[in-house]
Structure 1
Amino acid sequence: MQLRHRKCIPPLVFASTFALLLLFFTTYYHFHGIPFLSSRHVPVVDDSFHFVEHQLRPIPVSTLPSPPRFAYLVSGSAGNGNMLRRVLLAIYHPLNQYIVHLDRKASPQERLALERFVKGYKVFKEVGNVRMIVKANLITYRGSTMVANTLHAAAILLREGGDWDWFINLSASDYPLVTQDDLLHTFSHIPRDLNFIDHTSKIGWKASQRAKPVIIDSGLYNLRRADVFWIRQKRSVPTAFKLFTGSAWMVLSRPFIEYCVWGWDNLPRKVLMYYTNFLSSPEGYFHTVICNAEAFRNTTVNSDLHFISWDNPPRQHPQLLRLAHMNRMLESNAPFARKFYQNGRLLDKIDAELLSRGREMFTPGGWCAGSRENGADPCSVVGTPTVLKPGPGAQRLQALINFLLSDAIFRPRQCE
C-alpha cells in the first residue's frame, strides 16, 4: 500500500500544476482572445529620473499631470457581502475600474444580493466601471487558487477595463485611510511603472516550511472548499530563479500585470508552475517574478502601502485593529490598513474623520456634483471625474512616498 501511495504522488502533483495553468490560460483566452506571447515594449524606470518633489508646490492648472487610474480587485468570502459593499463605496471613483469577487464559500443568496447591489446601483450603472465575477471561484486559504483568482481578475481588467495604470488588490478586511482624490493626486506625480510590493529574499524559516514541502490545493480540482494538504516527498530550493517573499497586498503597475498575464518570456509561467505547490503562494509569486525579471526588478518600491499591526513575535494573522490603533495608523501615512472588525467603531471613526463619508454613501471628491440637502449623497450625481480635491490625506501620503523614494530607501531596498 505504501508503494502504491508513492506511485500516485507524482501524477497528483502534475495534475494540480496542470489544472492551475489550464485555469489561468483558458480564463485569459476567454476574456482576451489573443496569444500570450507578445513583443510589447516594457518601459523601465531610468536611474536618473527625479521621482518626487521634496514639497508639494502650487502649480498652474494647465501644467498639472493627468490623474492616473486604478484597477481594484476587492475580494471576500462567506459573510463578507455587506463589508464588500462598504469597502467598494469607500474607495469608489469614476476614473477607476473595479472587480468584486465573493468566493464560492459564500451562499448563493449572499452572492446574489451583492450582484444585485453592483448591477443595480445608480452611479455604477451610469459610469459602468464596476463588475462582479458572477461565476465565483473556489478559493483555498493558503493555496495557489488565490493567485489564480488574482490573475483571473487582472485578465478581465486588461480585457474590459480600458486604460488604467495600477492594479490594487484588497479584501473585505481592508479599508482606506485616504480619499481617492488624495490617492489619485499623489500618484499623479510619480512614474507609472513603479510597483509597490513588500518583498525580501531573506526567506529564513520559510525555506524549510514552505519552499521544500510540496502541497496540493484541492480547490484546483474539487467543487467543495477544503484545506491544502501535504505529500511526503520534499523538493530542493530552486536554482533557476531566486525566491522572494513578502506581503500579499500590493499596488502593481499595468506593464508588470501585462507581463504576468501575457508572459512574453517564460519566467511568469515557470514561476507559476512552481508556486502551484507552494504554501501561501500569494506571499511569493508576484515577488519572485518581479525580482527575477530584468525589466522590472528596478521598478520595485519595498512597501505594501498598508498599516498592519503584528504581535511580537508575529503570529499567522495580524491583530484586529481597534480604536487604540488610530494614532499609529495616521502616523504610518499609509493609504490602506487591515484587518478590521466588520462594521466596527473604528471604521465609523475613519469614515467621519478621514473620509467625510456618510453611512451607505460614497467618499466625497471633486467628481461629486450633487446636493447635500436633506442628507442626500452629493456623489449620487457624477460631475467631472478629473477634478480632484485632495485633502490632508494627500499630505500624509506624499510624506510616505517621499520617504519610500528617497535616496536612502528606494534603491538599497530593491529586491535585496
Structure 2
Amino acid sequence: MACTNCSTSTKDGTPRGCKNNGTCGTDSCNKLTVFDWLGNMNLPSGETPFDCVEVRFKNGRKEFYRNTDNVTLFIGDVVATEAAPGHDIGIVTLTGELVKIQMKKKNIAPNSTEILKIYRKATQKDIDIWVESREKEEPIKVRAREIAIALKLQMKISDIEFQGDGSKAIFYYTAEDRVDFRQLIKEFAQEFKIRIEMKQVGFRQEASRLGGIGSCGRELCCSTWLTDFRSVNTSAARYQQLSLNPQKLAGQCGKLKCCLNYELDTYLDALKDFPDFETKLQTEKGDAICQKQDIFKGLMWFAYVENMANWHVLKIEHVKEIVALNKAKNKATSLEDYAEEITTEPELNFSKSLDQESLTRFDQPKRNKKKNKNKNQTAGVNHSQNQNSSEKTNINKEAEKTVSPSNSNRNRNSKHFKKNK
C-alpha cells in the first residue's frame, strides 16, 4: 500500500518516493491515521461544521487547532498553524465531527481557550522552508550526540523536530535519571544558532516515534495504531503461561511488549472456571499438587508429593469433585481413577523430502581437471588391459575345446586296443 508517487520508475526499477518521508498526506504513509467514515455524510440543516481540525506533524505527533477564519480544509491539506514563537507547518488528518470524538478521548474540552488556531493554507514558500529545515535534522542530530558525549551526560538524543519556519528545534531525549543539561543548551545554541527546546520522553515513546519491525514481522503497534501506553506486568505472562524470558517478552523499547495485554482478558475469563492453581488434592495414596494447566482444553496436571515425576491428567470437573470430597472431610481413592488418557498425534517425518536435504550439499569443493584427466587415462589403460586379458582367456578356452576331442578319441582307441588283445 502506497501512494502513486511511491511507484517504481521505468529506468532502473528503484522506487521514486515522494521525498517527504511519510508526510505526503496520503493514508498509506501516515501513522496513526483515523478513517473518516462521516466524510460522505451531510450535516443536518442549520448545523454548522465543527471548527476544530486535527493536524499531524513529524512521527505521528498530532495536535488540535481551531479554524477561526473558516478556511475550507480537507484531509491532506498542508496548513500553517500557530506556534510559540512563529508558526509551524503540518498536515490535516481529520475534520468534522470525528475531531470532537478524538478530543473527548484525549480529555480536551472543545470550548477551551488554550487551543491554538490555524493561520492559513501553507504557501509554496512555507513548504520550501519546511523541507529545508527537515533536511537539517539528521546531521544536527549526529552533532548533538557528539556534544552530549563530550559533556559526559547520561542521556540519549533520539530525535530532533524542527518547527515549520525553522526558528526552533525540539530535541527529544531519553535518560534513566535526571540530567542537568543547562550547559548542553548553551552549546547547542552556540553551535546551531537556533532556539532550543529539550523534551524528555520514555523508552516506549521513543520507539513509537522512531518505528521499526517487531518480532512478529509487522510494524510496531505503538507507531501504527496504538495511541495510549498501558502498564504491562509480568503477571500477564504468568496468566498466559508464557516463559519468563526477558529476551522474548521485551520489545524494541526494552520494556515488556504491549501485546501481552491483548489476550489477557480472555485468559482471565477462562481462568474463572478453573480451580485455584495452589489447590491440594487429598487422596488415600497421598496429597497431590497441581503442576500445569491447559486453559483451552480444560485440563490440569497433578502429581503426588512423594512422586513428583509422574503426572496425572484430570479434567476440571473431576478436580472439583475431589475438592468437594475434601471439603466434606473425605479423601478420594487415587488420582488414577480420575485420570484421562491423552492420545498423542504421530509426528510427521519429512526426512525423505527434497526440502529437508542438507543445505551444504552444493558446497562441495570443485575437483581438479588434471587429476580427472589422469584418472581417466589410468582408467582407459586398465580397461584395455582388462580387454586383453579377457581376450586371452577366451582364446585359451577355445584351445581347450579344440584339444579336448582329440584326448577323448585317444582314450577310446586305447580301450578298443585292449579289448582286441
* TM-score between the two structures when normalised by the length of structure 2: 0.21
Greater strand proportion = 2
- Please say which structure displays the higher CA radius of gyration: 2
Greater share of helix: 1
> RCO (CA 8 Å, sep 6+): is it higher in 1 or 2?
1
